[in-house]
């Protein structure tokens, strides 16, 4: 009885919202047709997702940059007023689909226009909704970070094209690994969350994981080939850190997909084969970095020895006789602390024969079709 009452109450709220926008005028910030599509796509019905109206929203975004402001205004107003986990989750799924459009106008959004980092459902007791609240907060955290990342990517492409340096590619992979870490926090943890809407949202999350982890593996494979003898020690250390994290995240992914399979997420049953970075490759990179450090130490020792030899051969240094002991000029002119580093810059050259090559059993190409909510 209570469930029927909640559905009736939610349907009434949706109708009220649709009725109010029927009197709205079209302006640069308002589009009544777009508002209507957003309300339908983010309804209070937890048994289904209105894909038809979701696709209408995507079509508007792709058709003209002028539709971005009405979208932001309508969606933020809808989210800021709601206390329903159903409406909040559908809004996040809609935003996810909008970000997947990757149109140039999205660079204007940067961060999401609303805040669900502290969301709490207001229609049921916390003991029943804590799992939904946690999932929405985690999903929002990822999309907020992802929106900022995409905005930067679009801005970079709009600038004058240039070849990325090794350091830039390393930073790009690190950002993707950060996104993947945030994605893996999105999971249904309560027993009462096996609902159609939750499964639809998790399908979107799993597909996003496929894409981002695949890009990480491809980026690492290309990066290790590019690391040349001219690569600096800092870059080699950073690359090793990224490779180790990718290996660790691969293990986390295996556990995550196993959890999703048991929960009933359909896309988790079709896990593609990812690139596995062999342990010997990691050890080879560590050996290369160690070799650079040993070479650096040897060069520093040679500099100290050369200075000592030169000083010993100079005839102008004489012994000074005192009442108690003999002191040589070089004793108080040069100590270990007084030895200065050479002014010449040091090059950290890595022997390319020591660098690993990733063995890829299969190319990292994603052949999966995205869920209807985020494709066209």
pLDDT in tens, 125-164: 889 999 999 999 999 999 999 999 998 888 887 776 666 6
How is residue 317 written in tokens? 């240094």
**Does the pLDDT value for residue 234 go beyond 70?**
yes
**Does the pLDDT value for residue 215 go beyond 50?**
yes
Q: Residue 326: enclosing H or E segment and its boundaries?
A: strand 326-328
Q: What is the pLDDT of residue 312?
A: 45
HSE-CB of 285 using CA atoms within 13 angstroms: 26
**Does the pLDDT value for residue 37 go beyond 70?**
yes
Residue 266: count of CB within 10 angstroms of its CB: 14
pLDDT, greater one: 313 or 335: 313
Q: What is the pLDDT of residue 10?
A: 80
At 166-194, the pLDDT tens digits run: 788 889 999 999 999 999 999 999 999 99
Compute, in degrees rounded to 10, the torsion defined by CA atoms 285, 286, 288, 291. 180
Q: What is the pLDDT of residue 6?
A: 74
**pLDDT level of residue 21 (50, 70, 90 thresholds):** confident
Length, in residues, of the chain = 376
> Rounded CA gap, 14 and 8, in Å?
10
> Rounded CA gap, 93 and 140, in Å?
10
Q: What is the pLDDT of residue 261?
A: 92
How is residue 92 written in tokens? 């996040």
Please answer whether residues 20 and 40 qualify as being in contact, where contact means their C-beta atoms are separated by less than 8 angstroms. no
How is residue 59 written in tokens? 């079509």
Q: What is the pLDDT of residue 211?
A: 92
> Rounded CA gap, 302 and 210, in Å?
51
Tell me phi and psi for residue 29, to 5 degrees: -110, -5
pLDDT, greater one: 361 or 94: 94
Give per-residue burial for 38-62: e unless 16+ CB within 10 Å, then b.
Answer: bbbbbbbbbeebbeebbbbbbebbe
At 307-332, the pLDDT tens digits run: 544 444 444 444 444 444 444 444 44
Average pLDDT, the chain: 77
Q: What is the pLDDT of residue 238?
A: 84
> Rounded CA gap, 170 and 245, in Å?
13
**pLDDT level of residue 85 (50, 70, 90 thresholds):** very high
Rounded to two decimals, the pTM is 0.75
State what percent of residues in the chain have pLDDT above 90: 39
Q: What single-letter DSSP state applies at residue 228?
A: -
Q: What single-letter DSSP state applies at residue 321?
A: E
How is residue 315 written in tokens? 């005839």
Please answer whether residues 82 and 121 qualify as being in contact, where contact means their C-beta atoms are separated by less than 8 angstroms. no
Please answer whether residues 357 and 281 qualify as being in contact, where contact means their C-beta atoms are separated by less than 8 angstroms. yes
**pLDDT level of residue 361 (50, 70, 90 thresholds):** very low
> Rounded CA gap, 280 and 354, in Å?
11
Q: From 72, 373, 96, 91, select the one nearest 212 (Cα to Cα).
A: 96
Please answer whether residues 83 and 121 qualify as being in contact, where contact means their C-beta atoms are separated by less than 8 angstroms. yes
pLDDT, greater one: 310 or 282: 282
DSSP letter string, 159-173: S---PPPHHHHHHHH
How is residue 44 written in tokens? 């209070």
Q: What is the pLDDT of residue 314?
A: 45
> Rounded CA gap, 122 and 117, in Å?
15
Q: What is the pLDDT of residue 200?
A: 94
């Amino acid at each position: 009885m209570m469930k029927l009452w909640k559905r009736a109450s939610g349907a009434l709220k949706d109708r009220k919202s649709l009725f109010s926008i029927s009197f709205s005028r079209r302006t640069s910030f308002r589009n009544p047709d777009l508002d209507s599509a957003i309300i339908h796509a983010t309804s209070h019905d937890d048994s289904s997702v209105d894909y038809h109206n979701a696709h209408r929203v995507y079509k508007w975004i792709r058709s003209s940059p002028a539709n971005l402001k009405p979208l932001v205004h309508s969606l933020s107003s809808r989210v800021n007023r709601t206390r329903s986990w159903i409406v909040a989750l559908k809004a996040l799924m809609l935003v996810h689909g909008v970000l997947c459009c990757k149109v140039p106008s999205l660079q204007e959004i940067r961060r999401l226009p609303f805040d669900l980092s502290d969301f709490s459902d207001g229609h049921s007791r916390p003991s029943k909704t804590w799992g939904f609240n946690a999932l929405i907060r985690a999903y929002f955290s990822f999309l907020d970070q992802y929106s900022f990342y995409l905005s930067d990517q679009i801005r970079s492409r709009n600038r004058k094209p240039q070849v990325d340096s090794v350091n830039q590619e390393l930073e790009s992979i690190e950002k993707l690994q950060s996104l993947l870490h945030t994605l893996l926090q999105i999971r249904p943890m309560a027993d009462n969350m096996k609902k159609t809407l939750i499964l639809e949202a998790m399908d979107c999350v799993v597909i996003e994981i496929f894409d981002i982890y695949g890009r990480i593996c491809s980026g690492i494979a290309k990066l290790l080939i590019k690391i040349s003898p001219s690569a600096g020690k800092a870059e080699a250390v950073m690359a090793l850190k990224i490779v180790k994290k990718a290996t660790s995240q691969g293990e986390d992914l295996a556990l995550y997909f196993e959890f999703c399979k048991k929960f009933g997420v359909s896309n988790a049953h079709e896990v593609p084969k990812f690139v596995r970075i062999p342990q010997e490759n990691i050890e080879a990179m560590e050996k290369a970095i160690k070799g650079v450090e040993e070479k650096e130490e040897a060069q520093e020792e040679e500099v100290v020895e050369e200075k000592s030899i030169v000083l010993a051969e100079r005839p102008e240094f004489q012994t000074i006789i005192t009442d108690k002991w003999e002191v040589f000029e070089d004793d108080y002119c040069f100590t270990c602390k007084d030895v200065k580093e050479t002014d010449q810059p040091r090059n950290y050259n890595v022997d390319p024969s020591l660098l690993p090559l990733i063995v890829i059993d299969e190319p990292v190409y994603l052949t999966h079709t995205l869920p209807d909510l985020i494709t066209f």
